[in-house]
Structure 1
Amino acid sequence: MECKCLFLDGKDVSITVKKDATGADLLASVCRYLAIGNKQPFGLVHRGGAHPPTYNWWVRLDKELRKQISGKCKIWAFALVLKFYPLPPKMNVNEDIVRFHSVLQVRQDLLTGKLKCPTHTLSLLASYWLQSEYGEWTSDQVDRQLAEEFRYVRRGKYNSSQNNESDVDFEQQMVELHRCLGSMTPAIADKHFLRLAASLATYGVHFYPAFELVTTHG
């Protein structure tokens, strides 16, 4: 059976599994494809054919996939997500590949507004992000490109009171922080990024819609 799986780096890849495959079988195939040795921090969610994924429900690892998916679904579409976020003081992210995907998940949480934080903290997180991606600061232009991504987060999603002036302040702060990181290696920048993100209230929190049950008494 062909499954579509969206990875944390944005790639949408086809994975073939047996018809009676369980969630654990699919997760093992995905982790093998990505060369992830430690599967424990990760999980799969059913995408319902949407892109970006609407995280409808977690895939149960002990149950056959076909028993978890509606027969109306023409495509079995899933997304790999970080299920158990690394926490201080023992942030077990020394394995490069696990740290890489953990960072990708937290970046995604920031850009979607799921992980909320004050402007200064966002500036510092962005500076670590830039250091990891581009290394030592060389040009304001590179930093401005990432700043554009955060404008939606800061203004459109949950901070609509922000104005153009605050955007400029944020960008200047982010550029200066990036400049101060010097020749810090990407691995160290990622570790600082995760440690700072882990201090935020909504770090690693999965949100689900809730409905009030109304009962009537006759």
Structure 2
Amino acid sequence: MVCAGQGLGFDSGRQHCNMMDSDLPPGSCNSTGHLSTIGYHTLPGRMHHSASTPAGVDGAGGGSRTPPATPKKGGKMLAVRIHMLDESISMFQIQSKALGRVLFDQVCRQLHLLEADYFGLEYQDASGTKIWYWLDSEKPMCRQVGLSMLEPNLRFCVKFYTSDPARLEEEFTRYLFCLQVKKDLATGCIQCNENTAALMASYIVQAECGDFVPEDYPDHTYLSGYKFFPGQDSESERRIMENHKKHLGQSPAEADLNLLETARRCELYGIKMHPAKDHEGVPLNLAVAHLGIIVFQNYTKINTFSWAKIRKISFKRKKFLIKLHPEGYVSGYYRDVVEFFFDGRNECKNFWKKCVENHGFFRCSSVQRQPRAKTRVISRGSSFRYSGKTQKQIVEYVRDNYVKRQTFQR
């Protein structure tokens, strides 16, 4: 496959990704193969890592860590605030000119995270458009989060939602995925019927509270302190309780896997909507997932362009283009190039970059890694390419570097 930039394309018939004219940065986010015990507070949603913290990070304190004093040498430093999936906050100090992967590697080392490439750091555009961007691992921090911010805020979250949770090798990785699903369910990102929502909530309760005990839980009010999904009421809590009763004997790890298996069957699992319009000006939402690019009208899926049907993706200012293989469209209904229009160039390019990364991660067996081209006065297009491990490479990497992690406490 050839993943392409602005005006460039990818050939979906090949399994080895060769980024044409691309400058792939050397190396992905390298997680350490040495694992040690990680402990957690017993309070829901609060994670405390008892393992050693990386250099440059002060591990003192509970959910929030304070950065050490700024070194006199080494250039200007950024104090970066990372919101973790368990609602805790970690502080890191990093040189403003350091590449994004330096910060991401520090976060992964603190978590002792082996399957790191499923995750990413997300930050919000400070210009007022409120776009969420993934931290580019091969771009300096100062060119992304901005030096004008006193303490840039980033979120550590799932970047690539696997369609097969069984491919996640470590229980800890599945636990982090469950925290992400829990957030997505609570914020309404995963929309499903009430029965499915109640079932997922019951797996969350089973993992956090253990078996249902009638003496401890005489009625549904033991769930009132939790907010699992929008519109939750006493009736839905009774439904959650009835499901919770059926999970007797399930370990937290089993409940986590059951939660992920249920979530992945939801149509909006891992879906992040990007507002756009078609060539007739009809409002739509675009999303990218493991199977390809999906088109929604409101929250109803109306079309899917699978990676196998796509020959090339590109953008030109506000216009996002999908070029299809001849067999990928019906003559008279679709043209060979499908166009969508975003409100601005930044929104368009941001979605294009997410498509490039998802294609590289899920569709390719490997990616070429070359130094990214330096910015020129006259550019032929974006040099952005996916620079991490592919899903296939992660599976092989973990099996080669796996060290059994001691049981962690939730």
TM range (shorter): 0.7 to 0.9
Q: Which amino acid aligns with 1:65?
A: M
Secondary structure, counterpart of 1:3 in structure 2:
strand
Which structure dedicates a bigger proportion of its chain to helix?
1
Q: Distance in 2 between matches of 1:18 and 1:33?
A: 18
Match of 2:236 in 1: 170
Secondary structure, counterpart of 1:194 in structure 2:
helix
Q: Which amino acid aligns with 1:172?
A: R
Secondary structure, counterpart of 2:92 in structure 1:
strand
Q: Which amino acid aligns with 1:100?
A: Y
The TM-score, its normalising length taken from structure 1, stands at 0.81
1:67 correspondence with 2:132: no
Q: State how 1:47-62 maps to structure 2 within 5 Å.
A: 47=124, 56-62=132-138
Q: State how 1:197-216 maps to structure 2 within 5 Å.
A: 197-210=263-276, 211-212=342-343
How far did residue 46 of structure 1 move? 1.1
Q: Which amino acid aligns with 2:245?
A: R
Number of equivalences: 197
Q: Distance in 2 between matches of 1:60 and 1:143?
A: 45
The equivalent position to 2:157 in structure 1, one of 57, 62, 81, is 81
Q: Which amino acid aligns with 1:140?
A: Y
1:109 correspondence with 2:176: no
Instruction: Give the 3 Å change call, closer, same or farther, for CA 111–192 of structure 1 in structure 2.
Output: same
**1:104-143: per-residue Cα shift (whole Å, max 9, x none)?**
0010001111111110001110111111001110233696
Q: Which amino acid aligns with 1:80?
A: F
Q: State how 1:1-218 maps to structure 2 within 5 Å.
A: 1=77, 2-47=79-124, 56-88=132-164, 91-138=166-213, 139-140=216-217, 144-147=221-224, 149-150=226-227, 153-154=230-231, 167-210=233-276, 211-212=342-343
The TM-score, its normalising length taken from structure 2, stands at 0.45
**1:147-197: per-residue Cα shift (whole Å, max 9, x none)?**
554476126xxxxxxxxxxx3332222111101111111100100000100
**1:57-86: per-residue Cα shift (whole Å, max 9, x none)?**
111111111111234322222110100112
Q: Distance in 2 between matches of 1:103 and 1:55?
A: 25
Tell me, which stretches of 5 or more residues in structure 1 are unaligned?
156-166, 214-218
Asked if 2 retains the 8 angstrom alpha-carbon contact of 1:130 and 1:143, the reply is no
Q: Return 177-186 or 203-212, whichever deviates more.
A: 203-212
Tell me, which stretches of 5 or more residues in structure 2 are unaligned?
1-76, 277-341, 345-410
How far did residue 56 of structure 1 move? 2.3
Q: Distance in 2 between matches of 1:202 and 1:187?
A: 24
Q: Which amino acid aligns with 1:122?
A: A
**1:36-58: per-residue Cα shift (whole Å, max 9, x none)?**
11211001111468xxxx76211
Q: Distance in 2 between matches of 1:203 and 1:20?
A: 36
Secondary structure, counterpart of 2:243 in structure 1:
helix
Asked if 2 retains the 8 angstrom alpha-carbon contact of 1:48 and 1:73, the reply is no
Asked if 1 retains the 8 angstrom alpha-carbon contact of 2:96 and 2:147, the reply is no
Asked if 2 retains the 8 angstrom alpha-carbon contact of 1:45 and 1:59, the reply is yes
Asked if 2 retains the 8 angstrom alpha-carbon contact of 1:124 and 1:177, the reply is yes
Larger radius of gyration: 2
Secondary structure, counterpart of 1:115 in structure 2:
coil
Asked if 1 retains the 8 angstrom alpha-carbon contact of 2:203 and 2:244, the reply is yes
Secondary structure, counterpart of 1:110 in structure 2:
helix
Secondary structure, counterpart of 2:95 in structure 1:
coil
Instruction: Give the 3 Å change call, closer, same or farther, for CA 141–36 of structure 1 in structure 2.
Output: farther
Instruction: Give the 3 Å change call, closer, same or farther, for CA 67–189 of structure 1 in structure 2.
Output: same
| More relative contact order, 1 or 2 (CA 8 Å, 6+ apart) | 2
